[in-house]
């Protein structure tokens, strides 16, 4: 095989396929990215912008949500004075448990898988549940406190 670019490494078909397979397997490998948060002492929301997670304590339950509105991926805001979420872009509103109330969105907020580990809530950001795709998974993504 001729190498027309001088010192550039040129892969043969087998080398290319081996590299492609490694890249493909790497893309499928789950990162198992989890984040631990202290269990909130009172009802309300804590926003972790760095990890795009909203942790909520509401009526003796803990939830973790994707920070983005399911309508057009705008960061949601927690309105402490009225105890609910709202999208600043199109004014979609959500209850503290992520249930859609009104606005342009057509479904509930996306929930992350959660579990309790002692005094912390562990959020698995690789496992996202959408209420319109996996209603049972979405409903189960809660930790009783």
The tens digit of pLDDT for each residue in 111-135 reads 999 999 999 999 999 999 999 999 9
Q: Is residue 1 part of a domain?
A: no
Domains in the chain, number: 1
Q: Is residue 25 part of a domain?
A: no
pLDDT at 88 over 60: yes
Give the torsion sign (CA, 98, 101, 104, 105): positive
Domain with 44 in it: 34-144
Q: Residues 74, 40, 110, 51: what is their CA dihedral angle, to the nearest 10 degrees?
A: 60
- How far is the CA of 67 from the CAs of 16, 51, 56, 87, 120, in angstroms? 39, 9, 12, 10, 20
pLDDT at 100 over 70: yes
Q: Is residue 21 part of a domain?
A: no
Confidence of residue 94 (pLDDT cuts 50, 70, 90): very high
Give the torsion sign (CA, 31, 51, 45, 138): negative
CATH number for 73: 2.102.10.10
Half-sphere exposure for 42 (CA within 13 Å, toward CB): 2
- How far is the C-alpha of 145 from the C-alpha of 127, rounded, in Å? 21
pLDDT cut 90: percent of the chain above it: 74
pLDDT of residue 3: 46
Q: Is residue 87 part of a domain?
A: yes
pLDDT of residue 26: 46
Asked if 109 contacts 76 with a C-beta cutoff of 8 angstroms, the reply is yes
Instruction: DSSP for 17-30, please give it.
Output: HHHHHHHHHHHHS-
Q: Is residue 28 part of a domain?
A: no
Q: What is the chain's mean pLDDT, rounded?
A: 87
pLDDT of residue 14: 65
Of the candidates 83, 82, 40, the residue with the CA atom closest to the CA atom of residue 64: 40
Q: Is residue 61 part of a domain?
A: yes
Give residues with Cβ within 8 angstroms of 17, minimum separation 6. Answer: none
Q: Is residue 20 part of a domain?
A: no
pLDDT of residue 28: 45
Q: Is residue 15 part of a domain?
A: no
State pLDDT tens for residues 20-31. Answer: 555 554 444 445
pLDDT of residue 17: 60
pLDDT at 69 over 80: yes
């Amino acid at each position: 095989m001729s190498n027309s670019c001088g010192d550039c490494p040129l892969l043969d078909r087998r080398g290319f396929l081996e590299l492609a397979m490694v890249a493909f397997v790497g893309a499928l490998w789950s990162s198992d990215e989890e984040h631990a948060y202290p269990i909130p002492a009172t009802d309300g929301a804590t926003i972790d912008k760095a990890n795009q997670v909203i942790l909520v304590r509401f009526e003796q339950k803990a939830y973790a949500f994707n920070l983005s509105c399911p309508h057009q991926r705008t960061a949601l805001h927690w309105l402490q004075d009225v105890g609910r979420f709202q999208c600043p872009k199109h004014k979609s509103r959500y209850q503290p448990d992520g249930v859609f109330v009104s606005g342009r969105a057509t479904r509930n907020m996306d929930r992350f898988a959660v579990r309790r580990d002692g005094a912390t809530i562990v959020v698995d950001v690789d496992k996202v549940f959408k209420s319109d795709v996996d209603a049972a998974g979405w409903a189960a993504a809660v930790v009783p406190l």
